[in-house]
Amino acid sequence: MFTHQHLRKTGLLLAVVTTTALAQPSVQQPKMNQNPFLAPYTTPHQTAPFDKIRNADFLPALQEGLAQGRKDVDAIVNNPAKPTFENTIVALERSGDLLGKVTSVLFNLNSAETTPELQKIVKEASPLLSEYGNDITLNEKLFARIKAVYEQRASLKLDTESAMLLEKAYKRFARNGANLDAKGKERLRAIDKEMSQLSLQFGENVLNETNEYSMLVTDEKELAGLPDYVRELARSTAKQKGKDGYMFTLQAPSYGPFMQYADNRELRKKLYMAFNGRGFHGDKNDNSDIIQKMVALRYERANLLGYKTHADFVLEESMAGSRDKVQSFLDELVTYARPAAERQLAELTTYAKAHGFTEDKLQAWDNSYYAEKLKKEKYDLDDETLKPYFKLENVLNGAFTVANKLYGITFKERKDIPVYNPEVKTYDVFDKDGKFLAVFYGDYFPRPGKRSGAWMNDVQGQKVENGQNVRPHIVNVCNFTRPTDTKPSLLTFYEVTTLFHEFGHGLHGMLANGKYESLSGTSVPRDFVELPSQVMENWCYDPEALKLFAKHYQTGEVIPNELIEKIRASQNFLAGLANLRQLRFGLVDMYYHGQKPTGETVTQVENKVDSVANLFPRVEGVAFSPAFSHIFAGGYSAGYYSYKWSEVLDADAFEFFKEKGGLDNKTAADSFRKNVLEKGGSEKPMELYKKFRGREPSPKAMLRRSGLIL
């Protein structure tokens, strides 16, 4: 669905996530005393001084951060006092501040606007960070102190959040090799180092494949069916590249509309093959071997730590709890989704044949095209009709307004906070009592060096330290349709829901209110992290919310009730096919990570899953695994099921919001803020959900919403 990358300091264990990057180039390396990382920030709210940071600053600051982090750990290990919660667990949590400061900026930039120079820096940094993390988790004396505190946990009388920090600290070490012998620890280090490098390379290869491809169309007749806004964007893209004609790329604002509207079936196929062949061309950007290596290394690592598979290792700490439960969950949803998908594909095929399609079966590159036409016929609704009501600035203000009505928070734009690209907007966020809550960065348009997809990060996490509540700096990054010479950025409805989705993650970060950064905000299990984001999506279908921001960009007219009803009526359009598509991704993830590696090729793996979860004919020369960044470059390995799992949660949760009166009644919102958004990972997710909802979640709301049951 959407990509989310979240980088945060978890004690001293840094999540090295592969993405791609930015920072201003510097011809010569600055002196250490000029390095902006090595002095207190003097910017508003101590935000990152992006205008002063140069590529040459990163490695010196990183080395200093590593040195300081090791010094912090040595102080804990060599403390002559008896191990206590404060002098061991809290001290470890508070250590490595400089390193967290540097890496949060580095990896945020490494996803938003990459340069070859910065990619090289990240490749140098990644093994250093991996080695550093292993030096800590495999430090026997440090683990002995942690274990000593853990073994007396019953008598410590810790509050719930502190007890969770202790449990997480112990498990983080135990789950990362602290109990291994010397040989095992050495092998674990080697695996982690290689994994970090492979993951980075995977992400770079996908970005290269995305950026290197373009399709130039010079004959206007071949653009039949494309709306004016799609043509205008393509003409602008060609002009930027010094070409005459219309240029289409694999970026979402170009690729998606072309597949929806272009009458030229051969060009649709050509673009489909390029998009779905990324990382699968047998060249320098091919990811097939990387997948085989990563799957094997993950399996070996899990075995080394005493787990049967990588999925067993990952899911032990999830809300679902086990590989078998996840597999059963996906299999059960297939039994609901596949029959609905089969009926919907039959309807789509019948429609296509009635409108000139002559083959026996629709191909994958026909799906979006005929779906758009059928949707238009059934509901008299398409993106061309809706886009004028969804000017980007209005939609963003709509997200702000919904947040204000639910939680009382307000947003005020600032012009003096440094940004890493002129397009990035910044905001102060205030609570209902006027108290400062967070800094919010919004970055909404595609650029050549920017990873595709949409995600939320933080540049500074939330924590309480020295009696001060350190407030977070939150980033939302998307890739929406740019303004043209004649029109502002007008979003498709899919882009509207994407903005609200990522903003939901942002709220999880902005409203965080815990003591410890490693438990704060979105530091929760993968199958719980999507709850706040997907709850926010629901407001995009809510008449009360839509009327707050869906206004015609030229006339100011509020979206009419007739269109709102069409949006709601079309919400379940082809939902069986959409559900089956998501389940396909989750099943492939579990096939790679839920068993001993089979040695099967990418094509063989996908063919097996497709026999259950794909109704379109298999196409030679394409595969989605080699560009499946979620699980090979984004932290979702053995966790992609969490999107569907979270749909169960969000549908059940949103029913509660509506039961309690929607935007006008604060009962559900207050409970959601108090028990979910503020709590982060300070308690078990099921316990937090039950405190919010009053009971465990039921899947019936999701099945009803998707039209899979009555």
Catalytic residue positions? 502
Q: How far is CA 679 from CA 515, 517, 671, in A?
A: 10, 11, 11
Nearest to 130 by CA among 75, 72, 181, 198: 198
CA distance 95 to 87: 11
- DSSP conformation letters of 199-248: HHHHHHHHHHHHHH--EEE--GGGGTT--HHHHHHHHHHHHHTT-SSEEE
- The helix (H) or strand (E) run that includes residue 460 is strand 455-460
CA distance 648 to 329: 11
Which tokens belong to 640? 């992609």
Task: Please say whether the beta carbons of 491 and 395 come within 8 A.
Answer: yes
Task: Please say whether the beta carbons of 574 and 337 come within 8 A.
Answer: no
3-state secondary structure of 413: strand
| Phi, psi (deg, nearest 5) at residue 458 | -125, 150
Which tokens belong to 588? 């492939």
Residue 221: how many other CB atoms lie within 10 Å: 8
**Total length of the chain:** 710
Task: Please say whether the beta carbons of 476 and 506 come within 8 A.
Answer: yes
CA distance 72 to 489: 48
CA pseudo-torsion sign 617, 618, 621, 627: positive
DSSP state of 24: B
DSSP state of 87: I
Nearest to 259 by CA among 353, 341, 351, 367: 367
**Amino acid present at 4:** H
Residue 396: how many other CB atoms lie within 10 Å: 21
Cβ neighbors of 167 (< 8 A, separation 6 or more) are: 150, 153
| Phi, psi (deg, nearest 5) at residue 568 | -70, -40
Which tokens belong to 526? 């993968």
- The helix (H) or strand (E) run that includes residue 468 is strand 468-470
